[in-house]
Structure 1
Amino acid sequence: MSGLTTEVLTQINCYRQQAAALLLYQAVLQQPIGQHFLQLLEHLASNEAEQSLRAYGAWFAALAAQDLTWPQYLVRQIQRDDNPFTRQVQQLTLASLSPALVAAAQHDLRILQALSSCSTQAVAQWTERLCHLPRPLVVWEKPQAEALPAWARLMDWDTEINALTQQYRQRGTGLFADFYVWRWQSGQLEGVAYPDPIRLDELAAYDQPRATLIRNTEFLLAGQPALHVLLYGSRGSGKSSLVKALVNEYGDRGLRLIEVTKAHLQALPTIVEQVRSLPQKFILFVDDLSFEEDDESFKALKVVLEGSVTARAQNLVIYATSNRRHLVREFFGDRPRPHEADEVHHWDTVQEKLSFSDRFGLTLTFEPADQPTYLAIVQHLAEQANLNLPADILTAKALQWATRHNGRSGRTARQFIDFLKAELALAAE
């Protein structure tokens, strides 16, 4: 005979019916945590003691594996759910959506808020009673759990739907809500779980090109015309770090970065079509760009830079770095001689190669670091790393490092500070 009261069984069946009644947000409960929860309710309702105990263990383990409370899980899935409502509300106002679509979203949010009120403590007690356990079950709890987002702390999720829609417009849905940085790999976009954490305030020197690039990025975020940018200059000057720092600075405003290697440049038009209708803003990042003669990827990049019969996507820009001012390699043998008759307009071909970089709206130049610039970068990084060395000693060590290693550059300065920080930490032990 079941150890559960009629009142408890009624409550359990109410939760089950509510979950089955979801119209748009069904996927919220289709992940392991949600599935284990539904299976546990089913076993409890059917008076299946042993199966309930196993299902409780699976639910507990799934919550622990993701380090989430039950409400946190539901809120996270709601924020990333990709359904007709979440897709359309990123582009349109609530007033312009179908009333039936908005009503369905509100209906589901009422259900999900009710499910979030089902405490793990209560579920554990139901399982204990059904199984007649001699000891209480361990309850998955997080005393210092992170606060829920503002919209989820409201009294009624369905009536305060505007707050949630702002979240969708800002962060996106599906995988675009999970990752700020992406790469094109194996014919598809893949999220980068551990992107470079570099921040703008960690970068020193090159104030003018940095300010210009930030300004252009702010144009993009504001929905204004933004230019494609070529960051040209000496190796180790921080060009790539600057681009990567932008997404860490503006990711919460909807900026996303997609890294495309030179080997995958032919996929650029495909990538553009995949993201052009999304509300987020995208930087297509091409690092260390240069072309060999007759490189087919040259044409793909040219199409995206200059456009074709398809309108330019207004939510993306290309930021490319290069150590070469002229991106297409040119040889002395390429230059036409009067006695050669291979191509009538050979100079036109040469000029096309030389002017390719001009197709970027902005070209930002990063000059080689002189000694004062190098030492300024070292000093800036040393302060951030809290290295308390006398200035003269730090300078002497930095110059010695540059002489023995890769010369003066921002990269060399970073390597020097990392090495010095480790060396001082070991010496202090």
Structure 2
Amino acid sequence: MSEHHQIYIKANSLLLYQSVFNHQVGKAFLNLLHQLSLTETGLNYKINCLQAYGIWFKTLANFNQSWQDYLIEQILLDDNPFSQQVQRKALSDLPSSLLTATRHDLKILQEISNWNPQNTFNSLPSWQIAHTFLNFFHQSQNWTEELETLAKHYRQYGTGIFAQYKALQWKEALLGIKNFDPIQIDEIVGYELPKETLIKNTECLLAGLPALHVLLYGSRGNGKSSLVKALLNQYSEQGLRLIEVPKEFFQDLPLILEKVREQPQKFIIFVDDLSFEEDDETFKALKVVLEGSAIAKAKNVVVYATSNRRHLIKEYFSDRPRPSEADEVHSWDTQQEKLSFSDRFGLTLTFESANQETYLKIVHHLAKIANLGLPTDELDFKAKQWATRHNGRSGRTARQFIDYLQGELNFTNKQT
């Protein structure tokens, strides 16, 4: 039996890690093995094998990965009974048959990663590329001995989409956000008290302690959303994940909770720019998440919502109770329920409009990070002028000003 025939049989005998070949690269590899394993001969057989090799080569080139890097990455992301259970239990507490199956698969996968089709296609170039990352598998002579290290990796980073992405969005399904805003905690200044409070609440969540749902309230452009995003960048290595839920999908909030409830990671349900119309029924789904229902609260989930409105449900003067036969008898109770919706958040953090002192403090801080090196008087003058001509004093305005100034200075330097 030929070597590639043996490899093909082994690839199809995996017990837990079959899905490592579900990706485009893996499918091209299995197709190559399939073509090589056929007992046919002649011109058509050779052409089919050459075409399969070309497709596999091109697919690897598209993803700019070595074959071994691809395979190891898929193992580290794979969502299977072993990778799921080992996140919650010690290896010694897992069924021995599960551990045996895992070792069986790792042995096969190591053989597959080392297989070189160049022995068959020696007249064609082989795909050679330096490792894009290095980990314990690259340095191991025997992958079956890396079970504990693999278990630690799964516990820290999770599996599946939660390992692949730190930020996700819900649109009838969980979708990964590939290019997430890279803003960092130390870039946000001028709002130290709400910043410190939100950091402590998030650290309680990560530590498995009770954490509160939070409403971040204040005028636009003062760093509410940026702070939540920066928290994710700060703590994602500790298992924090963020799921952004647009308002039109609020009805799916209970479903989202059930999807993440048993995951070992901690989750921020992020709701940006929250407000409701007077007759909006979607707030009831959020109310269930905030207050709970007959189903127990998910202890690994908090809701962080931003809003420009302190009262989240818009109120009109026509809503005020007036004595009339057509009015609800206890209409004031109904109105109070609407107005007190924001009270259902455990914490409300206020981001006040930036005065000139706060605005300039943010400008100076961002200018220091950007290494602009302008004299203080000149920077202050330009910053005040920018705020007057554009969107007023706010953290967002300060960021836009620094971005503009950085581009202007770099362009001027290149011209000279």
* TM-score scaled by length of structure 2: 0.93
Aligned to 2:78: 81
Residue type of the alignment partner of 1:301? L
Aligned to 1:51: 48
Determine if the alignment matches structure 1 residue 163 to structure 2 residue 155.
no
User: Equivalents in 2 of 1:359, 1:41: separation in Å?
Assistant: 58
Aligned to 1:375: 360
Aligned to 1:6: none
Equivalences for residues 345-424 of structure 1 within 5 A: 345-424=330-409
Equivalences for residues 22-37 of structure 1 within 5 A: 22-37=14-29
User: Equivalents in 2 of 1:271, 1:406: separation in Å?
Assistant: 37
Equivalences for residues 120-139 of structure 1 within 5 A: 123-128=117-122, 133=123, 137-139=124-126
Aligned to 2:169: 183
Give the Å deviation of 1:274: 1.6
Aligned to 1:4: none
User: Equivalents in 2 of 1:60, 1:151: separation in Å?
Assistant: 23
Answer whether contact 1:292 1:328 (CA < 8 A) is retained.
Answer: yes
The alignment partner of 2:302 has SS state of strand
Unpaired runs of 5+ residues, structure 2, are none
User: Equivalents in 2 of 1:164, 1:151: separation in Å?
Assistant: 9
Q: Which whole-Å deviations, capped at 9, do the CAs of 1:181-210 have from their partners, x for residues lacking one?
A: 11121x222211222121212222211111
Give the Å deviation of 1:138: 2.1
The alignment partner of 1:75 has SS state of helix
Unpaired runs of 5+ residues, structure 1, are 1-8
Aligned to 2:205: 220
**Once structures 1 and 2 are overlaid, which stretch shifts more, 198-207 or 406-415?**
198-207
The alignment partner of 2:121 has SS state of helix
User: Equivalents in 2 of 1:21, 1:150: separation in Å?
Assistant: 24
Determine if the alignment matches structure 1 residue 248 to structure 2 residue 245.
no
User: Equivalents in 2 of 1:340, 1:317: separation in Å?
Assistant: 43
User: Equivalents in 2 of 1:347, 1:39: separation in Å?
Assistant: 69
Q: Which whole-Å deviations, capped at 9, do the CAs of 1:114-138 have from their partners, x for residues lacking one?
A: 211224xxx224212xxxx4xxx32
The alignment partner of 2:264 has SS state of coil
Aligned length: 409
Equivalences for residues 4-403 of structure 1 within 5 A: 10-45=2-37, 46=39, 48-119=45-116, 123-128=117-122, 133=123, 137-143=124-130, 145-185=131-171, 187-337=172-322, 342-403=327-388
Give the Å deviation of 1:341: 6.8
The alignment partner of 1:127 has SS state of coil
Residue type of the alignment partner of 1:308? S
RMSD: 1.8
* TM-score scaled by length of structure 1: 0.91
Structure 1 runs of 4+ with >6 Å offset: none
Answer whether contact 1:44 1:127 (CA < 8 A) is retained.
Answer: no
Answer whether contact 2:5 2:36 (CA < 8 A) is retained.
Answer: no
